[in-house]
A and B are shown apart, each in its own frame.
Chain A
Amino acid sequence: MGKKDFSLEAALQQLKPFDTDQIKFELEQYATSAELGAAIITHIQDDVLDKRVLDLGCGTGILSCACALAGASIVVGVDCDEDALALARTNIAECDVDHVVDFVRCRIDDNAQLPLRNAFDTCVMNPPFGTRKKGIDAAFVRAALSLCDVVYSLHKTSTRAFLLKRAHEWGAAADVVAELRFDLPKTYAFHADNSRDVAVDLVRFRRVADELPPPVVSMAEPPPPATRWAPRGRGRAPRGRGRGRGRRR
């Protein structure tokens, strides 16, 4: 596993998480932690640097910020929630990446056509896991594959077999780039535990031609991280904010 970049993590820790009064469980809103955001970036550096990046279900924009800080040429974050996007706007200003990141409000599901043309290189996303709305995780991956050749997506490890099998039907090869664990703080009233460790996979989907044989599933070693970004902002990194995302089963 690549070394973590703590300056990126510190930068991401300044971001505002979901407002607890506005958080919407039906959208499966759980903030991606700064730690997880930074960990993801270390695994996908080459597909972000100087690339046009899409972030579906961007929420408060932590992955959009992370990609911008990691050198993406443009990032477009997409979400349906107005409150989350308003926070995302302040977060990109906080990270000083508002000249790289833009947001678009629209719905992402099987019935909706995304209002974007095929002009992106890479999608990096932390979609809903599909616990509340069955199949929404797959709908996000397919939407991403309709616009990008390469899609990095975070999924519960328990759904791995299903996703890797379905990827071929979507014209994509899939492999698990990293197995990550993270601590999820109690976010909603229906959570029984104060926190819970959930195993997640960072899955890389790659669009392939139809005639190619079924994808080979492999556990690739991640590339070493580059350290292009510098810590920014006010030099303050409050701990314990915006950490965790997920749900109990």
Chain B
Amino acid sequence: MRLLTHNMLVSNAKGVSEAEGYPLALEVTEHRREETEFDVETTRKTMETVKYDALRGAARAVAIDLPEVYDGDDADLLRKVHEALCDVHVIEGCLVCPKSGRRFPINNGIPNLLLHEDEL
């Protein structure tokens, strides 16, 4: 799972609204980086639908420090943002619902948001 996908994920725990269940806290025990092509325009466009604060929080879990304020004209920042969004693959870890504390494991790169019968 890349951080771009993390940015789209919301807690589906029972009784948690979309606003309350976002963003999921990210805990990483294993990740890898795989460099992909960086393009300023593409990254800028991608950022139009990315929630920067959520990305910033997730990036911290993989030791990428992003500044408090996003600036789409800052090419250095965009490169860093691209690295965080696209190059980091979380292999093992956990997503934590900010409202309920429900933990969703990430195994073999796939976050598991399957709820148990008694949670529906």
Chain A residues at the B interface, C-beta cutoff of 8 Å: 52, 73-74, 76, 80, 82, 85-86, 89, 98-99, 102-107, 111-117, 119-120
Chain B residues at the A interface, C-beta cutoff of 8 Å: 1-2, 4-5, 7-12, 18, 22, 34, 36, 42, 46, 49, 86, 89, 108-115, 120
Task: Report yes or no: B110 in contact with A85, Cβ–Cβ below 8 A.
Answer: yes
Residues of chain B lying within 8 A (CB to CB) of residue A80: 114
CA distance A116 to B2 in the complex (A): 14
CA distance A80 to B113 in the complex (A): 9
Task: Report yes or no: B5 in contact with A74, Cβ–Cβ below 8 A.
Answer: yes
- In the assembled complex, 16 residue pairs joining A and B whose CB atoms fall closer than 8 Å, in A order, are A99-B34, A102-B1, A103-B109, A103-B110, A104-B5, A104-B110, A104-B113, A105-B111, A105-B113, A105-B114, A106-B113, A115-B12, A115-B113, A116-B9, A117-B18, A117-B22
In the assembled complex, how far is the CB of residue A220 from the closest CB belonging to chain B, in whole angstroms? 28
Q: Which 6 A-B pairs have the closest CB atoms?
A: A115-B12, A102-B5, A106-B113, A115-B113, A105-B112, A113-B12
Task: Report yes or no: B8 in contact with A119, Cβ–Cβ below 8 A.
Answer: yes
Give the nearest-CB partner of B105 in chain A.
A105
CA distance A74 to B5 in the complex (A): 9
Q: Out of A89, A102, A119, which one reaches B49, CB within 8 Å? A: A119
Task: Report yes or no: A115 in contact with B34, Cβ–Cβ below 8 A.
Answer: no
CA distance A106 to B115 in the complex (A): 7
Task: Report yes or no: A106 in contact with B114, Cβ–Cβ below 8 A.
Answer: yes
Known: A107-B115, A112-B120. A74 touches B4 (CB 8 A): yes
Residues of chain B lying within 8 A (CB to CB) of residue A82: 112
Chain B residues touching A, majority SS: loop
Task: Report yes or no: A107 in contact with B114, Cβ–Cβ below 8 A.
Answer: yes
Residues of chain B lying within 8 A (CB to CB) of residue A86: 108
Give the nearest-CB partner of B86 in chain A.
A99
CA distance A163 to B92 in the complex (A): 40
Task: Report yes or no: A112 in contact with B115, Cβ–Cβ below 8 A.
Answer: yes
Task: Report yes or no: A89 in contact with B108, Cβ–Cβ below 8 A.
Answer: yes
CA distance A111 to B14 in the complex (A): 11
Residues of chain B lying within 8 A (CB to CB) of residue A106: 12, 112-115
Residues of chain B lying within 8 A (CB to CB) of residue A112: 12, 115, 120
Task: Report yes or no: B10 in contact with A117, Cβ–Cβ below 8 A.
Answer: yes
CA distance A190 to B10 in the complex (A): 39
Residues of chain A lying within 8 A (CB to CB) of residue B110: 85, 89, 103-105
In the assembled complex, how far is the CB of residue A188 from the closest CB belonging to chain B, in whole angstroms? 24
Task: Report yes or no: A117 in contact with B8, Cβ–Cβ below 8 A.
Answer: yes
CA distance A76 to B22 in the complex (A): 18
Known: A80-B114, A104-B5, A105-B112. A111 touches B10 (CB 8 A): no
CA distance A56 to B11 in the complex (A): 18
CA distance A99 to B34 in the complex (A): 8
In the assembled complex, how far is the CB of residue B59 from the closest CB belonging to chain A, in whole angstroms? 16
Task: Report yes or no: A116 in contact with B8, Cβ–Cβ below 8 A.
Answer: yes
Q: Which of A82, A102, A111 has the most CB of B within 10 A?
A: A102
Give the nearest-CB partner of B17 in chain A.
A113
Residues of chain B lying within 8 A (CB to CB) of residue A105: 110-114
CA distance A116 to B4 in the complex (A): 12
Give the nearest-CB partner of A147 in chain B.
B8
